[in-house]
Chains A and B, each alone.
Chain A
Amino acid sequence: MRNIWTIAKREYDNYFNSPLAYAVAFAIMLMLGIYFSLILYATSDQAMSGGGAPETTPLNWLFVFLMIFLSPALTMRLISDEARMGTLELMLTAPVRDFELVAGKWLGSLMFILSIALLTLIYPIVINNFVEPGIDWMVILSSYLGLILVCSTLLALGTGISAVFTNQFAAFFVTLGLFFFLWFMISLPANILPQGGEVFNYLSLSDHFSQSMNNGTVNLGDIVYYVSLTALGLFVGSTAVEIRRWR
């Protein structure tokens, strides 16, 4: 476990040397900032005519949606670049298990995303000060739990794919393609098939978040879904690293 932490810490620090990571953080914060002001405008108009209070959970939905496109950029080089630069040889001859290497890389990227997510807490705090009697923090909590779980899943799958490739751009496009498929396309058969289509709904990355946790509903099934996919990503990653040894 300590090795995972050591590797995660190095990877986390490394993001702050990387212009790409700043670009991702900038893109997320810019989009969220614009969206937030739009929400404020819209709800302030409604509030005049007796409408509801502004909500910030759509911001978390946007955060997660942006992660589909941006997270492959954060994970693409995690292991592929080490293989290309030869530094993988250092890691594979250090007393570190293959799984610890992959999990450390994943945790580092998750910590980076969580740092950005921490910054977005400013939005609910601002709104909480505007409305009486304050906002429902349990919904916010559930929404952030969902956000963490989705990000964890995306980053684990990305890390796993990065271990398969030596070229970071190959890793990027395969990861992006997979996320597109899991987010937009996998639930399509649910509408076509006469029965049994719910399975495909269950497999979709988006529904467990946007239909449930982001609205304040925490189901064990949703958590299991994301945790299993995270485990799958890390398993693929460590298997790919092990296969590299045998080649």
Chain B
Amino acid sequence: MIKVSGLTKDYGARRAITNVSFDAQQGEIVGFLGPNGAGKTTTMRILTGYMPPTDGEAIVAGYDVVEESLEVRKRVGYLPETVPLYTDMVVFDYLKFMGDLRRIPNVDARVDEVLDMVGLLERSNGYIGNLSKGMRQRVGLAQALLHRPEVLILDEPTIGLDPGQVVEVRKLIREVGKERTVLLSTHLLNEAQNICDRVLIINKGKIITEDTTENLQARLIGGERVILRVRGESDELAATVQQVKGVQSVETKEDGSVEFEFSAGKDVRPEVAKHIIKAGYDLLELRPLGMSLEEIFLELTGDSKKK
């Protein structure tokens, strides 16, 4: 449904994205993960026919975004990051206007239906300018869903929503994503983990990695990290742990605890426990540290050392 190859975009002398390639199938929810300014919005704008790429090719819903831009735009629902809306219009009139441009039959009934989906039916006659940010976000989402698009492109769809609404909107995205292709961008890693089947990590205009959320986590954790805490303080604790065979990269933390790693599959925790107790320490805690997507991300983008 989405096939992107070698996409590059320059803004004047600045290169926003470099050689971006990926694809997404029908019924798949793909997450675009990256810090601000990574090129997520630029890529999405190219895919929605908003602007042409400097180089490369993108096929969306079977049409080329440059050559057959109108055909692409007919089949794509887009929620821009800033959620631009005509604030001096009534919610219903706005959606009807967008529906008319998209030649939706029975547009009044469809607008009500979509407003119901996003939970805004009772604000249908209110001015958009009087809506809260979260409500505007949902008007934008309603606009994107209006014409039952084959491809849904959502730029930061849950930003500015209450926690309750975030859950609702994620549920909605999963729901509509069953028979469509959804590409959504986010800088929230747990959101990507939560909704997406697959994640593309992008930084400084380049795709760094692409995988399913589970694989990504498994792939990046080369070894397992464990935290060890004992009663009292001891300078030799790290050295004591180091003596156990299979223990790697021992590190003493500021609070006196010790973190160490061992290669996956060779669990050295029982040996470490025995050794510590034999050395006369009172063992308080020996806990594995799962690597969060946050850490994976920082490691991948090479920012971990700046911490």
Contacts and interface: CB of A to CB of B under 8 A. Distances in A.
Contact of B70 (A2, A7, A90, A97): A97
A92 B88 CA distance: 20
The A interface is mostly helix, strand or loop, or mixed, namely helix
B74 A87 contact: no
A94 interface: yes
B102 A94 contact: yes
Contact of B50 (A87, A95, A245): A245
Interface residues of B, number: 27
B52 interface: yes
Interface in B155-201: none
A93 B84 contact: no
B97 A6 contact: yes
Nearest to A17: B88
A89 B88 contact: no
A116 B143 CA distance: 34
A31 B154 CA distance: 51
B51 A94 contact: no
Nearest to B147: A95
Interface stretch (B75-83, B224-232, B255-263, B287-295): B75-83
Given A86-B84, A89-B80, A3 B101 contact: yes
B102 A95 contact: yes
Contacts of B76: 93
Given A93-B76, A95-B102, A96-B101, A246 B51 contact: yes
Contacts of A92: 49-50
A85 B84 contact: yes
A6 B48 contact: no
Contact of B80 (A2, A86, A95): A86
Interface residues of A, number: 22
Contacts of A247: 11, 51
Contacts of A46: none
A87 B73 contact: no
A87 B85 contact: yes
B244 interface: no
A93 B73 contact: yes
Contacts of B2: none
A95 B98 contact: no
A35 B129 CA distance: 41
B101 A93 contact: no
A86 B86 CA distance: 10
A245 B97 contact: no
Interface in B59-91: 70, 73-74, 76, 78, 80, 82, 84-89
A92 B48 CA distance: 9
A94 B73 contact: yes
B88 A95 contact: no
A97 B70 CA distance: 8
B100 interface: yes
A115 interface: no
Nearest to A101: B101
A61 B70 CA distance: 43
Interface string A214-247: 0000000000000000000000000000000111
Contact of B84 (A7, A10, A87, A96): A87
Interface of B: 11, 45, 48-52, 70, 73-74, 76, 78, 80, 82, 84-89, 97-98, 100-103, 143
16 contacts: A6-B97, A14-B89, A87-B84, A87-B85, A89-B84, A90-B98, A93-B80, A94-B73, A94-B101, A95-B70, A95-B73, A95-B101, A95-B102, A96-B73, A245-B51, A246-B51
Interface of A: 2-3, 6-7, 10, 14, 17, 85-90, 92-97, 245-247
